[in-house]
Amino acid sequence: MLLDQIKGQDPAIAIVRNALNRDRLAHAYLFTGPAGVGKRCTAVGLAKALLCQDAPQVGCESCPACLSVIAGTHPDYSFSTTPPDKQSLGIDQVREIQKFLTLRAVRGGKKVAILDNAHMLTAQAQSALLKVLEEPPGDAVLLLLAVSAATLSIPLLSRCQQIRFALLPVEEVEAILRSLRSEYDKDPDTARLLARYSRGSIGQALTLDPQLLVEERRQIVEHFSSLRGTSFSTLSQLAEWLVADRSAKAKKQSGGAERLKRGARLELVLAWYEEALRYLLLGRNAVVRHQDCLSALGQTTHGASVAQALHDLRLVYDTIQALGRNANPRLTVEDMLLQLAEPVSGE
């Protein structure tokens, strides 16, 4: 994908394009924003623009240079990310980038290094990277991609030009989905459903399996609209389903990668309680994802206060965060369900 083909991030693309046109690129950029909103596509698009032989500063995706960037084999292009078996980016990876950037460009132009998940850099790795940024080679461009800049040191941040990428509006996600896949043009309802559950991320939308989403959404509504007062044995079975591995049932992309991960059904639970809060605060017209489930939302919120709805929503969110910190999935979700199933005070 070329820079001009990236949708929904016009302010960020304008900064990059303006620097390209004026030949005023910084040595280091930090792209920050949620996962799946276009940071990586922009970084690779910039690499194509810098290394393209036939359309310099634009890219063509057909010349040998662009094709080798796409394949990851261009001698003046490097892409690094977190190893599959690691929870952080260490000093060894930074040293590899440092070595790559200090070598002269093989083809006489720019050298471009992309470091994905830069928010996962260890303190030692950040210190090593700082040495690269303090004396950057003249032909090098380093692109750091991070969900947030909060974990990066101030000295490191001061040597990067930061560009923020925003969440995409639902309408933009839907339009992108329809442009990427012709079947969604013929089935706009599916594209709209995926967009509503994307949380502003085209990457998230593309990981969702439409058929599985419809089925799991139905089960979430069925279980959680009448959860209060449910027996422990039923809650235990529900917990087992919520944390079960979804990937075996999910459709596979052409690449065959598993699309849905263990415990991801909790995201649908979170969406349900978000809708319940909207329904309680603003009424039926404020409901976004469950306009077809208004009676069920009414049942969920019956007799509940705004404080109770906020508590329930926060409880689900905290459970998802706890699972991200490797808490025991079954016990953590069972505890969440037990609290959600408690009768509303005053009923």
Q: Which H or E run includes 177?
A: helix 170-180
Residue 261 has pLDDT above 60, yes or no: no
In-domain check, residue 222? yes
Do 153 and 32 belong together in one domain?
yes
pLDDT of residue 96 exceeding 80, the answer is yes
Are the beta carbons of 194 and 210 closer than 8 angstroms? yes
Q: Are residues 151 and 96 in the same domain?
A: yes
83 residue type, one letter? P
Q: At residue 252, does pLDDT exceed 70? A: no
Co-location of 220 and 330 in the same domain: yes
Q: Give residue for tokens 């329904």.
A: 279
Q: Of 164, 181, 196, which marks where a domain is finished?
A: 164
- Through-space distance between the first and last CA atoms of the chain, rounded to whole angstroms: 56
Residues 213, 126 share a domain: no
Regarding whether 150 and 78 lie in a shared domain, the answer is: yes
What is the tens place of the pLDDT at every residue in 289-330? 998 999 999 999 998 999 999 999 999 999 999 988 888 999
CATH number of the CATH domain containing 23: 3.40.50.300
Flag whether pLDDT at 283 surpasses 90: yes
In a domain, 194, yes or no: no
Shared-domain flag, residues 10 and 158: yes
**Does residue 95 sit within a domain?**
yes
Q: Is residue 203 part of a domain?
A: no
Residues 16 and 136 grouped into a single domain: yes
Ranking 71-80, 173-182, 226-235 by mean pLDDT, the lowest is: 173-182
The CA distances from residue 299 to 228, 280, 281, 340, in Å, are: 10, 11, 15, 14
10 and 117 both lie in a single domain: yes
In a domain, 190, yes or no: no
Question: Domain check: are 318 and 234 in the same one?
Answer: yes
Least Cα distance to 111 among 135, 136, 141 occurs for: 141
Sign of CA dihedral 51, 54, 59, 62: negative
- What range defines the domain where residue 257 resides? 209-340
DSSP 134-175: HS--TTEEEEEEES-STTS-HHHHHTSEEEE-PPPPHHHHHH
Residue 274 Cα distances to 63, 247, 277, 313, angstroms: 48, 25, 5, 6
Q: Give the CATH number, domain containing residue 336.
A: 1.20.272
In a domain, 315, yes or no: yes
DSSP-assigned states of every residue in 297-337: HHHHHTT--HHHHHHHHHHHHHHHHHHHTT--HHHHHHHHH
Task: Identify whether residues 112 and 50 lie together within a single domain.
Answer: yes
d(C-alpha 174, C-alpha 168), whole Å: 10
Report pLDDT for 246.
65
Q: Are 235 and 117 within one domain?
A: no
pLDDT category of residue 248 using cuts at 50, 70 and 90: low
Question: Quick one: 8 and 76 in the same domain?
Answer: yes
Q: pTM score, two decimals? A: 0.81
Our count of domains for the chain comes to 2
pLDDT at 215 over 60: yes
Which tens digits make up the pLDDT trace of 233-246? 999 999 999 988 76
Examine residue 66 and state whether it is found in any structural domain, yes or no. yes
Determine, yes or no, domain membership for 171. no
What is residue 253's predicted lDDT score, i.e. its pLDDT? 42
CA-to-CA distance for 40 and 233, rounded, in angstroms? 45
d(CA 300, CA 312): 11
